């Protein structure tokens, strides 16, 4: 059974979300490193005083960086999710419009999706369905026209010619019934 959404879609989405999280962690580490870089002091006492104040400031700096990075990650994942959902939701909407058009009896045209849309196979199936129904309807119209032509000649003919025309009419009816028998309701 063909898949509606390619399997690579989910892997690609997960990969990009994990990439956004890893990028956030790297940015968090770099910001922490930059904020803590500096000279420890010219003497031992100055270095000790700086390290004592650093312990209290370290928590606040790392929390600030963590919050900023978390916001960055959340925005990144939201943007990625929106972009990926757009590749599914938009085409589904267009397929729905096309299906309603078919249901109303309009078999003209096809549904066209972008190459990057995830449900191209479903669009192709819907286009194939429409094309097959067009063929069936065209065949029925052709056979019905032949049926009507024979019916007109029956009215004009007499005797054995009328019997031949009736036999031909019966054959055309059978051909139409055969075409219709392939359609299950």
pLDDT at residue 5, as a whole number? 63
Tens digit of pLDDT for each residue in 145-174?
887 787 777 777 777 777 777 777 788 888
Within 10 Å of residue 156's Cβ, how many Cβ atoms? 9
Q: What is the mean pLDDT of the chain?
A: 79
What whole-number distance in Å separates Cα of residue 157 and Cα of residue 30?
Answer: 98
pTM, to two decimals: 0.55
What whole-number distance in Å separates Cα of residue 40 and Cα of residue 47?
Answer: 5
What whole-number distance in Å separates Cα of residue 111 and Cα of residue 127?
Answer: 7
Residue 2, pLDDT > 60, answer no
Per mean pLDDT, which range of 79-83, 168-172, 180-184 is the poorest? Answer: 180-184
Residue range 44-55: average pLDDT? 72
Residue 98, pLDDT > 60, answer yes
pLDDT at residue 64, as a whole number? 80
Is 58 exposed, middle or buried (CB count within 10 Å of its CB: 0-12, 13-18, 19+)? middle
Residue range 108-118: average pLDDT? 81
What whole-number distance in Å separates Cα of residue 93 and Cα of residue 119?
Answer: 11
N-term to C-term CA, the chain: 23
Determine what percent of the chain is predicted with pLDDT higher than 70.
86
What whole-number distance in Å separates Cα of residue 133 and Cα of residue 168?
Answer: 26
Query: Torsion over CA of 150, 152, 153 and 155, rounded to 10 degrees?
Result: 130
pLDDT at residue 1, as a whole number? 46
What whole-number distance in Å separates Cα of residue 169 and Cα of residue 151?
Answer: 7
- The pair of structure tokens assigned to 66 is 């963590």
pLDDT at residue 7, as a whole number? 67
């Amino acid at each position: 059974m063909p898949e509606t959404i390619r399997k690579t879609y989910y892997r690609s989405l997960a990969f990009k979300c994990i990439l956004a999280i890893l990028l956030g962690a790297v940015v968090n580490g770099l910001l922490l490193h930059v904020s803590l870089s500096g000279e420890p002091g010219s003497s031992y006492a100055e270095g000790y005083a700086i390290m004592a104040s650093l312990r209290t400031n370290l928590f606040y700096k790392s929390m600030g960086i963590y919050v900023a990075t978390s916001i960055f990650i959340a925005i990144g994942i939201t943007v990625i999710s929106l972009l990926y959902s757009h590749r599914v939701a938009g085409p589904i909407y267009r397929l729905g419009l096309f299906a309603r058009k078919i249901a109303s009896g309009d078999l003209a045209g096809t549904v066209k999706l972008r190459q990057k849309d995830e449900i191209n196979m479903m669009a192709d199936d819907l286009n194939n369905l429409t094309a097959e129904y067009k063929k069936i309807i065209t065949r029925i119209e052709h056979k019905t026209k032949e049926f009507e032509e024979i019916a007109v000649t029956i009215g004009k003919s007499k005797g054995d010619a009328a019997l031949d025309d009736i036999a031909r009419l019966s054959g055309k009816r059978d051909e139409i019934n055969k075409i219709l028998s392939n359609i299950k309701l």
